[in-house]
Chain A
Amino acid sequence: MASVVEPARAAAGAPASRSFLGSLLRTPSGAVGLVVVAVLVLAALLAAWIAPYDPLRMAAGPRLAPPSWAHWFGTDDFGRDVFSRIVYGARLTLQIGVIAVGISLTSGLLLGLVAGYASGWTERVLMRLVDVLFSFTEIVIALACLAILGIGLTNAMIAIGIASIPFYARITHSVVLVERNKPYFEAAVAGGAGHLRLIFRHLLPNVVPTLIVVGTLGVSTAVLAAAGLSFLGLGAQPPQPEWGFMLSSSRDLISRAPWMMIFPGVAIAITVLGFNLLGDGVREVLDPRQRQR
């Protein structure tokens, strides 16, 4: 028998052994994103200890007071502490991200996986429908959902979740198509693997990395969308300390109390930026194309 004389080629860069977190922290965007998201999560968990005031308490200070030592981000037109409201707002923001992405990711994954695996007519009909919904655009689907469900923050989260299903379904489907045509899949078929084994043992693990990236980036889209709906008055309702809603109530006071407009906006932008950067970082770690470079 011939001996194995060739050297193992890939031994140098074995990524599986290195921890995911370690690799993520090595990418600039991943590190920054991770820090931002960690701060957000901490703020949400420890809001009661961090926030100096009750976010709903009126007249915690004078009305429309500019930023000061007592009220870091100033107060709003009801005398509520803007900083405390922003800290508590982190809770709502995380909820939005998790619930909306949870809905769209699981449904989209299932749809895309089934369509991609089934092929033939099932695939054509499902994906045709997804394409149609996709071209309605997310905001219109969300508005339609809100028209049905009625306005409110919970309904807004659900509406945003539903609105993004076509997007996740398309991405999953396109990844499944690529994976399904790789020889390892055919090898599993040739080995006699059944439907469940093919889907869950072979396809799913190869689809998940892409969806982790897309899901992370999706949190930022969801947060933006929810803030937008709340800004329009369709999401959060008074007195919820929701950032988008806070911005909308600052509109008529921009010249008198610009801090009411600036800080919630900064909070949204930094949160969204954080998830965008984290998503980019995760992509760099998981995407084999990047890994080769």
Chain B
Amino acid sequence: MSDSLLEVQDLDVVFGAGRHRQVAVEGLSYTLGKGETLAIVGESGSGKSVSSLALLGLLPRSARIERGTARFAGEDLLGLPEEQLRRLRGDRLTMIFQEPMTSLNPVLTIGRQLTEGLVEHRGIAQAAAEARAGEMIELVGLGDPARRLAQYPHELSGGMRQRVMIAMAMASEPDILIADEPTTALDVTVQAQILDLMRDLKARFGTSIILITHDMGVVAEMADRVVVMHRGRKVEEGAVGEVFARPREAYTRNLLAAVPRLGAYARTTAPRIVVDRPAEVDRRAPVVRARGLRKRFAGRSWFGRGDAGVLALDDVALDLYPGETLALVGESGSGKSTAGRAVLRLLEVDAGEIEVDGVELRGLGRAGLRRARGHMQMIFQDPFASLNPRLTVGALVAEPMQIHGIARGRELDDRIEALFHRVGLESDHIRRYPHEFSGGQRQRVAIARALGVGPKLIVADEPTSALDGAVQAQVLELLLELQQSLGLAYLFISHDMAVVEEVSHRVAVMQRGRIVETGPRPVVLNDPRHVYTRALLAAVPVADPTRRRGVLPRLDTATMPRGPLTEIAPGHLVAAGAEAA
């Protein structure tokens, strides 16, 4: 590219020294053109973040640059004295980070944090800086600048904080904005808004963007060109259309193949068949029948404003049949995880009925509940935290079987081994500890533990969202296979619409404690009737640069219909008042 703005050449970044020496980035070169968005993609640990932090001199203490140049405006960023680099940093080159919740200083006002960079770099008066900060607050869609500037970070939500970060980074109209996973920590509808905002500002100011991400959907939506990284090295580089349409390297192809694409199963009515003689959904009697679930979490009574707490579940009802997957979808705080735990009676609801396998759970005593737990199991989101680090995985898988008296001694050992093989692990894994396994393997251990007691119901709470692409696909495959051969019922909790489309028979959409739409998966996903469902679907980035994501409908939580569900088609229920939209 002729009018290149930044040229990175042969960058090496190394952590530690001697025995602990680890090369994080090796021989990385790329150029960034004026007004261009360059996406650097890779899985966790690929060196994508480190390489960008290096440009600004923000590497962690244990890391150092061993080699390389980065030419920007006639100078080598990597060779500049700290003082000169500092003058560019935050002015010509700015950065936003992944974690908006922790990236702002909790003890300083938004105004202070927005203006201090301007005052420092532009040498303008505080009043002028505040005026500019106010403009930026308006520009990033926060409104009411006077009030915002006086607020502290804890008074804002994650999405709002990321807007503040963007305002801060764009206030100096920088040449280059480095965005390090800017939307990874955000809900999908908020992500869509933030991405739209970044695009708008880029067009307005002509800023070039280096976008660091693991999400191919975000890449397809935002990038002009792509650099694919794997284990510290550049694997492939090219225009976004080119890379998506004709990836040259096997690694890139696998990366793209593993991306769940919303719409890939749009024409199917049930999850794909992966075994020879699959168990059918049995609609005679439900495994789970819940009615009128209600749960209020007390507010932080500590120094709270006497608020009434959060209504995490509000009149939630659901049915789940043998062999069926019901997906509970929604954003953080929607109550979907609470609902899953309530069904297992891992937390006590305030009101409602829960029947599992025909037994009313809320009336059970300790012994009865323990018996009931033999029919229902759970798989958790974070396979690193859901296995007790002090027990071998064999002991962990054995535990539920011991508790429920299913097997002992020799027979127990045989069952454990069989379970390990069933989920794709090996016999010599049994004596190892959880930390010796990768994320995907741990999730297999967790699945084996759940299967041991021969459950009828498994609540899976975001079982794949902590896993990288290819591994995620394998675990989903395993879950499908187990369901179809054992006739399991899954209550599948997820925020990822593409995954939901792949695995579920029916979908229930939750928003702030209420189910606002529910029905057969093809109907809800292909023909959503509730404005919130539409927003959720429209916000999903499309991992195809030739297609554009849908337009996000305006979400006004105040006027959003949240009334009682009414049946608009067989099995398709929508919150009252939504039909008009």
Contacts and interface: CB of A to CB of B under 8 A. Distances in A.
B400 A2 contact: no
Interface stretch (B94-102, B381-389, B546-554, B566-574): B381-389
B403 A192 contact: yes
B82 interface: no
B357 interface: no
Given A2-B478, A186-B346, 20 more contacts: A2-B477, A4-B424, A4-B441, A4-B444, A6-B441, A16-B433, A16-B435, A183-B380, A185-B388, A186-B341, A187-B387, A190-B344, A192-B369, A192-B373, A192-B374, A193-B399, A194-B370, A197-B399, A197-B403, A206-B390
Given A8-B436, A183-B386, A192 B380 contact: no
B439 interface: yes
Contact of A10 (B374, B388, B424, B435): B435
A197 B382 CA distance: 22
A190 B382 CA distance: 15
- Which 10 A-B residue pairs are closest in the complex by CB-CB distance? A192-B373, A183-B386, A191-B400, A205-B390, A2-B474, A190-B378, A184-B388, A183-B380, A9-B438, A183-B385
A192 B438 contact: no
Which of A6, A8, A194, A205 has the most chain B CB atoms inside 10 A of its CB? A6
Interface residues of A, number: 33
B338 to A, nearest CB: 13
B478 A190 contact: no
Interface of A: 1-11, 14-16, 182-194, 197, 201-202, 205-206, 293
Interface string B423-443: 011000000010111111100
A186 B374 contact: no
Nearest to B392: A16
A192 B400 contact: yes
B478 A1 contact: yes
A86 B287 CA distance: 74
Contacts, number: 106
Which of B346, B382, B386, B388 has the most chain A CB atoms inside 10 A of its CB? B388
A202 to B, nearest CB: 6
Interface string B341-379: 100101000000000000000000010011001101110
Nearest to B478: A2
Given A189-B346, A194-B370, A206 B441 contact: no
A178 to B, nearest CB: 11
A192 B370 contact: yes
Contacts of B435: 10, 14-16
Given A3-B424, A206-B389, A192 B471 contact: no
A182 B385 CA distance: 6
Nearest to A209: B390
Contacts of B380: 183, 186-187
A192 B366 CA distance: 10
Contacts of B344: 190
11 contacts: A1-B478, A1-B481, A5-B474, A10-B438, A15-B435, A16-B436, A184-B387, A192-B369, A192-B370, A192-B404, A193-B399
Nearest to B347: A186
A206 B388 contact: yes
Given A2-B474, A16-B433, A184 B403 contact: no
Contacts of B386: 183-184, 186-187
Contacts of A293: 62
A292 B327 CA distance: 36
Given A190-B377, A191-B449, A206-B390, A6 B471 contact: yes
Interface string B54-87: 0000000010000000000000000000000000
Which of A3, A8, A184, A185 has the most chain B CB atoms inside 10 A of its CB? A184
Contacts of A16: 433, 435-436
A8 B471 CA distance: 12
Contacts of A7: 438
A18 B390 CA distance: 15
